[in-house]
Amino acid sequence: MQRRVAGEIQRSYGVGQRRVSLVLRFCRASLQYKPERSPINEVLRARIKELACSRVRYGYRRIHILLQREGWQVNAKRIARLYRLEGLSLRAKATKRRRRSAAVRVRVAPTGPNTVWSMDFMHDRLMGDRRQPFRLLTVVDIVTRECLALEVASGFRAAGVIEILSRVVKRRGAPTAIRCDQGTEFTAEALDQWAYANKIELDFSRPGKPTDNAFIESFNASVRKELLNTRWFDSLQEARQAARSWRREYNEDRPHRSLSNKTPQAFAASAKEARSLKKSHSPLA
């Protein structure tokens, strides 16, 4: 503050630092001091910006929690200051968030079955006068293309998403990452805590970039064409039964072109067998 006042006096009256320091009784060394940027701060700022690009609805407090999980020993005030310096304060306009999230991202690459999942929501309506809307939660394994969950409900909250994912994890084991968009159910703190407890990374798509989650978009198109557009549903129970039947047929009977016309279940079984053979022939086995 005093350096700024001293600078304004110098510019206004055309006097030197010596005269200003005598008048203000301010040390000349302080006037000549130029703060140096810390290399650690530069790395931290880059990491904050990277996190904000992939999680555009996260404020500095949530980013501070993520950094603490990564091992950064910094307080929230420092994160808030660097967050503001990068111009990352949350704004109401989505267009600016999209521009900010347009940076190149490093994503978690699948190394085999059950390592990366993808999930999304779909919408449809029941038949009748009121045409009650309902939603579907879709979850797929992006390597085997298996449909891990196809749940129907009038609406979903974060707790409902956690319950469904927990059932799938109990049945199959936890993946390394789950790809999803930035819907309120997926960005909720409860889901973030659940993912952290299960050592799962939530890999968020950039707003306005459906290609970031192309596998689930392709799967949703199949659900729309083969399930939702082919029939009407009078009740949620009827929609649930149809979804369970279609999911079973998709996994066990429907050939998939990207899997050499194998079914997702058959491809998963062959991949598991190949892994077992490779492990048995390993010198360390």
pLDDT value, residue 95: 45
Q: 40-43: long-range contacts (C-beta < 8 A, 24 or more apart)?
A: 41/82
Domain spans in the chain, listed from the N-terminal domain onward: 2-32, 39-100, 116-279
Give me 76's structure tokens: 């929230």
Rounded CA-CA distance 178/242 in Å is: 26
Which of 94, 170, 86, 180 has its CA nearest to residue 142? Answer: 180
Q: Please, which pLDDT band fits residue 99 given cuts at 50, 70 and 90?
A: very low
Taking the C-alpha atoms of residue 82 and residue 48, their distance in angstroms, rounded to an integer, is 8
Question: Do 146 and 243 touch, CB atoms closer than 8 A?
Answer: no
pLDDT digits (tens, 9 = 90+) for 163-218: 999 999 999 999 999 999 989 999 999 999 999 999 999 999 888 888 888 999 99
pTM more than 0.75:
no
Q: Which tokens in the block code for residue 6? A: 């001293």
pLDDT at 142: 94
Which pLDDT score is estimated for 167? 96
- As a CATH number, domain 116-279 is 3.30.420.10
Whole-number pLDDT of residue 101: 36
Task: State yes or no: pLDDT of 284 exceeds 60.
Answer: no
d(CA 191, CA 157): 10
Query: Which has more pLDDT, 130 or 123?
Result: 123
- What is the Cβ-side half-sphere exposure of residue 28, based on CA atoms within 13 angstroms? 6
